[in-house]
A and B are shown apart, each in its own frame.
Chain A
Amino acid sequence: METLEQIKVRTEAAIAGALLEIIPNDSPSGQRSLLVDPAHAAAVAAFFRDDPQLRLDYASNVTGVDWLDTVLKEKVKVKKLIEGVEKEVEEVVERKRAGYLEAVYHLYSMELKHGPVILRMRTANRSDNVRLPSLTPVWRGCEFQEREIFDLYGIIFDGHPDLRRILMWDGFLDHPMRKDYVEPDDYEYEPTPHDEVLEKMKEHYGQKAGQ
């Protein structure tokens, strides 16, 4: 299979205005992914599926990720005058990054027996602009998984044929997989609470009981 760089170049050439970004991965797997802008995502997905060299006809897995507002620390080399001598010094620069929600598609080709290619889409923010285009028209199997993301993360997929909650009930308002989800306080006695359960216990009974 082509490298991600080749896929990126060819896709950007084939679809006018599409912008792909390769997301690095520092983990041992080193599995990099392609970030696509939501406006061109449907066209890019159709290109991935129909291109004779890619033929990514199978979306094996669709999942969501919640990224909170964070402060990223980056090391930057800066030239500074120290005691009259110009030296290169490493400085830590803090950069704020607004949170967003992400939908991740793992794509394989049954026909050419290669993959996975990982496709990502990001929403503009986590609160009021959480819309992404649905890729169910391209890969039919995404339907239930996009519904699950809608249910648990609250991403609204435009163009989805049947966007309803799938695990929780219809009147439920929260999105339980979001990192700032607050569970109903229904802690019950446990003989050996630990870790998060211990935290829940302290919160439920008040600090006195936690001592």
Chain B
Amino acid sequence: MDEGLRSELSKQGIFTTSIEDLYNWGRKNSVWPLQFGLACCAIEMIATSMARYDLARFGAEVFRPSPRQADLMIVAGTVTKKMAPQVVRLYNQMPEPKYVIAMGACAISGGPFKQGYNVLKGIDRYIPVDVHIPGCPPRPEALLHAFMTLQEKIGKQSLTNQDRPRHLDPAAASEFPVPHFGEHDLEPSSNPDLWRPPSLVRAD
């Protein structure tokens, strides 16, 4: 619809919208996060949900204790290799549409533990991440910013195009393989459909 016409109509007291806008407006303002934390980032996440930062302003104050009722997974903290299968399993148990915020240095890359043997080098190896927040830990403002970024992303999702949300695309994968505990490492050590190791290209 033409913006000028829409603006003219609203001056006359006629409000117009599209199904897409209405649908996404509803979706993006009631994103319920899954209530779980893995390390110190969870403390900042809790602070964000409390009165001072007040995540309720964005319609996301209802932290759900069950993945079946949640729309958003905030991976707040270090994901150890022992914990990774459980995190992926929780993600698989969430219904579509679902989103992931990887919060903090550990969740996005392994952080200070990156070169260790026991910490996953970023949760994006196993599940698709929508917003990454750096920081150790990120301040509540950073989480709010990530949240607003996610809302923007949801608001822009078209309902029919190629980038439509996964629940409207029957071919899109909703569950991702859960890694197994191997004898020396997780098997597989990453999901190649989602993530590939960065390659080093040199000029010579």
Chain A contacts of B202 at CB under 8 A? 209
A200 at the interface (CB under 8 A from B): yes
Q: Tell me the total A-B contact number using a CB cutoff of 8 A.
A: 43
Cα distance, A189 to B121, chains bound together (Å): 11
Give every chain A residue within 8 A of B198 (Cβ-Cβ): 188-189
Question: B78-124: which residues lie under 8 A (CB-CB) from chain A?
Answer: 82, 110, 114-115, 117-118, 121
User: CA–CA, A189 to B197, complex, Å?
Assistant: 9
B181→A171 contact, CB < 8 A:
yes
Question: CB of B163 within 8 A of chain A?
Answer: no
Range for the number of chain A residues in contact with chain B: 20 to 34
Contacts of A209 in B (CB 8 A): 200, 202
Interface residue range, chain B? 10 to 19
A contact residues around B197 at 8 Å (CB): 188
Judged by a CB distance under 8 angstroms, whether B183 is at the interface is yes
- For the complex, give the distance between the alpha carbons of A42 and B139 in Å: 51
B82, B115, B117, B200: the one within 8 Å of A169 (CB): B82
- Contact indicator A189/B183 (Cβ below 8 Å): no
**Across the interface, do A187 and B115 meet the contact criterion of CB distance under 8 Å?**
yes
A residues less than 8 Å from B117 (CB atoms) = 176, 181, 183-184
Task: Say if the beta carbon of B69 comes within 8 Å of chain A.
Answer: no
A89, CB-defined interface residue at 8 Å? no
- 8 Å CB contact of A186 from B182, B185, B200: B185
* B194, chain A: closest CB distance, angstroms: 15
- The CA of A189 and the CA of B189, in the complex, are separated in Å by 16
The answer, among B114, B182, B184, for a CB contact under 8 Å with A188, is: B114
Q: Is A110 an interface residue (CB 8 A)?
A: no
A196 and B198 alpha carbons, distance in the complex (Å) = 20
Say yes or no: B82 contacts A184, CB within 8 Å: no
Q: In the complex, A169→B198 CA distance in Å?
A: 28
A176 contact from B118, B183, B189, B200, Cβ within 8 A: B118
Question: Which residue of chain A is the closest to B183 with respect to CB atoms?
Answer: A173
Tell me the complex Cα distance, A56–B4, Å.
85
**B121, A186: Cβ atoms closer than 8 Å:** yes
Q: Which of B110, B115, B185, B200 is most buried by chain A, counting CB atoms within 10 A of its CB?
A: B115
B-chain residues with CB within 8 Å of residue A13 when the two chains form the complex: none
Q: Knowing A197-B115, A200-B115 touch, does A169 contact B189 (C-beta < 8 A)?
A: no
From A172, A181, A197, A200, B181 is in contact (CB under 8 Å) with A172
Which of A171, A183, A187 contacts B183, CB < 8 Å?
A171
Bound Cα distance from A173 to B183, whole angstroms? 5
A169 and B181 within 8 A (CB): yes
Contact of A190 among B114, B183, B184, B185 (CB under 8 A): B114
- Bound-complex Cα distance A169 to B200 (A): 33
Show the binding face of B for A, using Cβ within 8 Å. Answer: 82, 110, 114-115, 117-118, 121, 181-185, 189, 197-198, 200, 202
With A174-B184, A186-B185, A209-B202 already in contact, 10 other A-B pairs whose C-beta atoms are closer than 8 Å: A171-B183, A176-B117, A176-B118, A183-B117, A184-B184, A188-B114, A188-B121, A189-B198, A189-B200, A197-B115
Residues of A within 8 A of B (CB): 167-174, 176, 181, 183-184, 186-190, 196-197, 200, 205, 209
User: Nearest 9 CB-CB pairs, A to B?
Assistant: A184-B185, A169-B181, A183-B117, A173-B183, A189-B198, A171-B181, A197-B115, A184-B184, A169-B82
Q: 30 pairs across A/B with beta carbons < 8 Å?
A: A167-B82, A167-B118, A168-B118, A170-B181, A171-B181, A171-B182, A171-B183, A172-B181, A172-B184, A173-B183, A173-B184, A174-B184, A176-B117, A176-B118, A183-B117, A184-B184, A184-B185, A184-B189, A186-B121, A186-B189, A188-B110, A188-B114, A188-B121, A188-B197, A189-B198, A189-B200, A190-B115, A200-B115, A205-B200, A209-B200
